């Protein structure tokens, strides 16, 4: 069975209608019966919207987040349109085949 990795890159403070985008994405994934997801927090970065972190006396605000999901392509394709709508141009979504060891 082929497995696929869906990787979503956003910022921690991204919101839509007052809700955090990363939490909304987790809800979509659960509703879509995706096997699991991991959210990774980055220490910093930059992209087309500028720097991905602000440092205030040792505290980072609005850090980059990476949401990583591995599942069957068919299941991922069902949730992808809703996730793409949330992320819009404010992040990056990649999808690629992976080998499971």
The size of the chain, in residues, is 101
Q: Domain of 39: which CATH number?
A: 3.30.70.120
Residue 20, number of CB atoms within 10 A of its CB: 15
* H helix runs in 1-101, sequence order: 21-31, 73-87
Q: d(Cα 99, Cα 82) in Å, to the nearest integer?
A: 26
Between CA 68 and CA 22, with CA 30 as vertex, the angle to 5 degrees is 50
Query: What is residue 29's predicted lDDT score, i.e. its pLDDT?
Result: 98
Q: What is the pLDDT of residues 20-62, one digit of tens each?
A: 999 999 999 999 999 999 999 876 666 666 665 555 666 656 7
The pLDDT value given to residue 101 = 85
What pLDDT band is residue 64 in, cutting at 50, 70 and 90?
confident
CB 42 within 8 A of CB 7: no
As for how many domains the chain has, the answer is 1
For residue 17, give its domain range. Answer: 3-98
pTM for the complete prediction? 0.83
């Amino acid at each position: 069975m082929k497995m696929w990795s869906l990787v979503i890159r956003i910022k921690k403070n991204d919101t839509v209608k007052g809700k955090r985008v990363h939490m909304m994405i987790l809800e979509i994934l659960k509703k879509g019966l995706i096997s699991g997801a991991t959210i990774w927090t980055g220490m910093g970065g930059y992209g087309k919207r500028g720097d991905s972190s602000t440092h205030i006396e040792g505290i980072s605000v609005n850090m980059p987040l990476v949401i990583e999901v591995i599942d069957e392509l068919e299941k991922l394709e069902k949730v992808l349109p809703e996730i793409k709508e949330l992320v819009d141009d404010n992040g990056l979504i990649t999808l690629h085949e992976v080998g499971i060891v």
